[in-house]
């Protein structure tokens, strides 16, 4: 099993947000985690990436049969976990390509591979930028600085395409995207699907799943997964909303 989350409890700022979550993700699988606002979706993503304000009070997370909870964010990243941020951070003065090169070489070092030479790296990022329909000028700008919402999300998927993670967690990558941008993002994700790479798509809306077909859909309500199923579950949610599930959760 690639990722195994068992009875996970997470608090942020003293408030318990995730209250006993179980999830298993196998290699090559695409899982969608859906849920209403405040259900703990982003906390789950942040916890998996190692954000220090997400305090694990109980439960376990294993990744490739290794306990993930003791690892720093960079150790997780270089071990192949990628987080596509819901709100990518603007970092003036840090160059987009410089960041990517440092990140890629950190990943390669972890895999025991040599640093990529400059020409090969340039070829790689040009190819991936083309895939994401990103203008070359974006590459040499400061990280996310002055990017529109859609450009920021595209940049996240571009990073993912370059870094080729084992597990990609995409936190509300669809939010704030118009339909054309969504198609580009979905195309970027679909092009990266293979028998090995797993995805955790965290989303509020079903519409992303029209373009990226998940193997499994989970519904997260109040810190717990209350329903799991195949892609048809997403359509049920779209038709009936979260209200029915919220009532179900409230009644235990």
Partner 1 sequence: MADGSRDVRMNPDSHTSIEHGPSYRAAFGQMQPAASGAPWLQVLRERALEEFIDRGFPTTAEEDWRYTDLTRVAQRSFDYLDGAPQEPLEDYGGIVEKQGLRLPNMHALVFVNGIYQPDYSPSGTLPNGVYVSRFNNLVEQQTEWLERGLGAIADIGDWHLAALNTAFLNDGVILVTEDDKQLTETLYVLNIAVGQKTTVQPRLLISLGRGSSATVVEHYLSTGPSFTNAITEIHCGPGAQLEYCKLQQEHESAFHLAAQHVRLDEDSRFHGVNVDLGGQLSRNDLQVELRGNGAETSLHGLFMAQGNAHIDNHTLLDHAAPHCMSREDYHGVLADKARGIFNGKVLVQIGAQKTDAELQSRNLLLSPGAEINTKPELEIYADDVKCSHGATTGQLDKDAMFYLRAKGISQLEARDMLVAAFTRVIIEQIDSAELREPVAAAVAQRLAHADLEPLS
Of residues 1, 60, 66, 92, which one binds partner 1 by CB under 8 A? 92
Would you say 50 or 214 has its CB closer to partner 1? 50
Pairing of strands 15-25, 81-84: unpaired
Question: Which span sits near partner 1 by CB under 8 A: 31-39, 58-66, 71-79, 218-226?
Answer: 71-79
Q: Which of residues 21-60 bind partner 1 (CB under 8 A)?
A: 49-52
Q: Quick one: how far is CA 131 from the chain centroid?
A: 19
1 touches partner 1 by CB under 8 A: no
Would you say 2 or 54 has its CB closer to partner 1? 54
- With beta carbons less than 8 A apart as the criterion, state whether 24 and 189 touch: no
In 91-206, beta strands by DSSP E:
91-95, 142-143, 167-171, 198-203
106 touches partner 1 by CB under 8 A: yes
107 touches partner 1 by CB under 8 A: yes
Of residues 14, 93, 146, 195, which one binds partner 1 by CB under 8 A? 93
Question: Which span sits near partner 1 by CB under 8 A: 62-70, 99-107, 220-228, 234-242?
Answer: 99-107
For 206, the token pair is 């079903």
Pairing of strands 15-25, 142-143: unpaired
85 touches partner 1 by CB under 8 A: yes
Residue 123 to residue 104: CA distance in whole angstroms: 14
User: Which residue reads 């995409």 in tokens?
Assistant: 170
Smallest gap from Cβ 77 to partner 1, in A, equals 4
- With beta carbons less than 8 A apart as the criterion, state whether 101 and 159 touch: no
Cα-only R_g, the chain: 18
Smallest gap from Cβ 36 to partner 1, in A, equals 24
Would you say 160 or 208 has its CB closer to partner 1? 160
18 touches partner 1 by CB under 8 A: no
Smallest gap from Cβ 112 to partner 1, in A, equals 15
Residue 59 to residue 123: CA distance in whole angstroms: 43
Residue 127 to residue 124: CA distance in whole angstroms: 5
Q: How many positions of this chain bind partner 1 (CB under 8 A)?
A: 31
Angle at 43 between CA 174 and CA 185, to 5 degrees: 15
Q: Quick one: how far is CA 43 from the chain centroid?
A: 12
Give 3-state DSSP helix, strand, coil % of the chain, rounded to 5. Answer: 40, 30, 35
78 touches partner 1 by CB under 8 A: yes
103 touches partner 1 by CB under 8 A: yes
Question: Which span sits near partner 1 by CB under 8 A: 2-10, 104-112, 175-183, 219-227?
Answer: 104-112
> Which residues in this chain contact partner 1 in the complex, by CB under 8 A?
49-52, 72-74, 76-78, 82-83, 85, 88-89, 91-94, 98-100, 102-104, 106-107, 142-143, 159, 163
């Amino acid at each position: 099993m690639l990722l195994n989350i068992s009875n996970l409890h997470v608090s942020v700022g003293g408030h318990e947000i995730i209250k006993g979550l179980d999830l298993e993700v196998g290699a090559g699988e695409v899982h969608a985690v859906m849920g209403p606002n405040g259900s703990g979706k982003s906390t789950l993503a942040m916890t998996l990436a190692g954000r220090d304000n997400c305090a694990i009070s109980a439960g376990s997370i294993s990744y490739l049969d290794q306990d993930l909870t003791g690892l720093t964010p960079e150790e997780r990243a270089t071990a192949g976990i990628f987080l596509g941020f819901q709100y990518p951070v603007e970092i003036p003065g840090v160059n987009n390509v410089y960041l990517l090169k440092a990140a890629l070489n950190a990943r390669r070092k972890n895999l025991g591979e040599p640093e990529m030479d400059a020409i090969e790296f340039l070829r790689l990022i040009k190819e991936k930028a083309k895939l994401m329909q990103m203008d070359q000028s974006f590459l040499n700008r400061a990280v996310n600085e002055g990017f529109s919402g859609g450009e920021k999300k595209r940049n996240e998927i571009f990073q993912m395409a370059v870094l080729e993670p084992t597990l990609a967690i995409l936190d509300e990558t669809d939010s704030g995207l118009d339909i054309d941008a969504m198609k580009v993002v979905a195309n970027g994700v679909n092009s990266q699907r293979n028998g090995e790479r797993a995805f955790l798509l965290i989303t509020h809306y079903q519409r992303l799943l029209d373009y990226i077909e998940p193997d499994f859909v989970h519904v997260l309500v109040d810190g717990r997964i209350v329903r799991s199923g195949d892609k048809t579950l997403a359509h049920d949610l779209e038709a009936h909303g979260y209200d029915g599930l919220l009532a179900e959760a409230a009644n235990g």
